Structure 1
Amino acid sequence: MKNPTQYQIIKCSSYNEYNVLARKKQPLIRPYLDAIQKVMDNAITEHKRTFAVRVDLRLPDYSNTVDLNSNDVCTRFIASLTAQIKADAIRKKREGKNPHPSSVRFIWAREKNTAHKQHYHWVLLFNKDRYHCTGKIDIGNDNLFTRITAAWASALSLPFNEALRLVHLPKNAHYYLDANNTNFTADYSSLYRRASYLAKLNTKQYGLGQRCFGYSQR
């Protein structure tokens, strides 16, 4: 892990012609901004209509089965979420339906500050023709929010009810991109600006031998 002073940072309010959440006292890491744009571009290339959601996933105070100092929980989370989405598609096909395929793309940042426990900020991207919202926060619902929570429970080896209190949708968490819509540039800019928060230099833990930022490579 690099020392934070070794990163290329920006402090201006725009990058690559898009607005970002940089401030004088809250610089952003340039390679992370590039990665965010790469993920968004890959998503819209595959799915001309893309649904993105901002979600915060927190870690429990302790765990007897999971190393909370390792980012392996992120790998397990994405693997579980992807498996659930594939299983749901298989189930729907057996019912005679024809669900749209959907990749799961993601960006995450691991942070900790004095006011909060260690936590992850995520942006998850899906095919909008398959998912257009997360759904209501209700254990009985078969929706995307339930799948996200179940995947986090699986990653942490926790019961669903315990993981539920560790999953949080911030305000205005849903974003929509449509490559054929006249509002595409504005919508893209809005999501990029929101996602740029994950690229901030402050509140990340450096020098622990673990990455503070990750993203899907395809």
Structure 2
Amino acid sequence: MIKEQNMNLPTRNPMNHNHKLYYDSWYRGFPLWPQHAPYIEENLSRLYDTMERALKEHKRTLAVRFDLKVPVAGIPLHPVPPMERLFKAVNRKIRAKYKKELKLKPYVHQCTVRYAQKTEQRVESPYEHYHVVLFVNNDVFRQVGHMGPDDDSELTKIIRSSWFSIANVSENTTECLIHGSTPSFRRLKGPFNSTNPDMIDAFRHFSYLCKEDSTLYRRGRPAFTTSRK
């Protein structure tokens, strides 16, 4: 019945004809939130691939889900998109942490940072906002807190300092620019598969980033991006 109903719905995104709209409540064995349909199928595929790569390299992966807001004053103009700058900054800080610890310990776990992010903007909002999932080695970062201003977990501080620098705001700002999802993190153990209850919950949680609704379409700047490797 659902498939018959979907046959009468558009299959291509009217805002971007390269995108195929996805209405099913399951994707490659993983459940989706029906209320957020349609999804963009290409984005679901990229999220799937990113999670698979993360868990193939780091059998114990920490997945951190959070939202980023733009300050009231906006973000200073820059030729590189804010999210691209954010992930480069987070990578730099994590590499610096690794090199520092390597001088003190005989063995230190390496950490490849992977991500998926979605840029959205509501009609009533003057600025865009960002939904983010960050995948890191759980042997390096155990967890995060709620990711609010008083969350002093190491990874949260790395994300916060990186975003505040890009947004050109002080560490003491009273604006709440980072918001942890519920839950803010998930511990995942590979391999990646659709029979693991933790994986099922995680993919459904993160699939929110793949919905078409409120996607911000801008020429030359894709609304949904993931790490390349």
Structure number with higher strand proportion: 2
Residues of 2 paired with 1:154 and 1:108: CA distance? 19
Greater CA deviation, 145-154 or 171-180? 171-180
1:121 aligns with 2:107: no
Identity fraction in percent: 24
1:102 to 111, 118, 143: 111
In the aligned structure 1, how far is the partner of 2:225 from the partner of 2:42?
Answer: 11
2:28 to 8, 16, 40: 16
The whole-number CA distance in structure 1 between the counterparts of 2:110 and 2:33 is 33
Equivalent pair of 2:149/2:176 in contact (CA under 8 Å): no
Q: Which amino acid is the alignment partner of residue 196 of structure 2?
A: T
173-182 vs 208-217, which moves further: 173-182
Deviations 1:123-147 (A, max 9, x none): 0000111112114645693611111
SS in 1 for 2:173: helix
Contact 1:139 1:146 in 2 (8 A): no
TM-score normalised over the length of structure 2 = 0.82
Matches within 5 A, 1:38-187: 38-63=49-74, 65-67=76-78, 72-96=81-105, 98-114=107-123, 116=125, 117-135=127-145, 137=148, 141=152, 143-162=154-173, 165-179=176-190, 185-187=196-198
- Deviation, 1:71, is 6.4
- Match of 1:189? 200
AA aligned opposite 1:157: N
Q: TM-score, normalised by structure 1?
A: 0.86
Residue 13 of structure 1: CA displacement?
1.1
Name the aligned partner's letter for residue 52 of structure 1: A
Deviation at 1:186, TM superposition (A): 1.4
**Counterpart-to-counterpart distance in 2, 1:87 and 1:111:** 31
Q: Which moved more, 1:106-115 or 1:205-214?
A: 205-214
Question: How large is the RMSD of aligned CA atoms in angstroms?
Answer: 2.8
Give the unaligned 5+ runs of structure 1. Answer: none
- What CA deviation, in whole Å up to 9, does each residue of 1:29-53 have, x standing for no partner? 0000000000000001110111101
Tell me the CA shift for residue 3 of structure 1.
2.1
Q: Distance in 1 between matches of 2:54 and 2:185?
A: 15
1 CA distance for matches of 2:51 and 2:193?
18
Instruction: Tell me if 1:35 matches 2:42.
Output: no
Q: Does 1:201 align with 2:212?
A: yes
Write the distance in 2 (CA, Å) between the matches of 1:154 and 1:163: 15
Q: For 1:182 and 1:37, locate their aligned partners in 2 and report how far apart those are by CA, in whole Å.
A: 10
| Structure-2 change in CA distance of 1:138 and 1:121 (3 Å) | closer
**Alignment size in residue pairs:** 215
Q: Residues of 2 paired with 1:134 and 1:45: CA distance?
A: 22
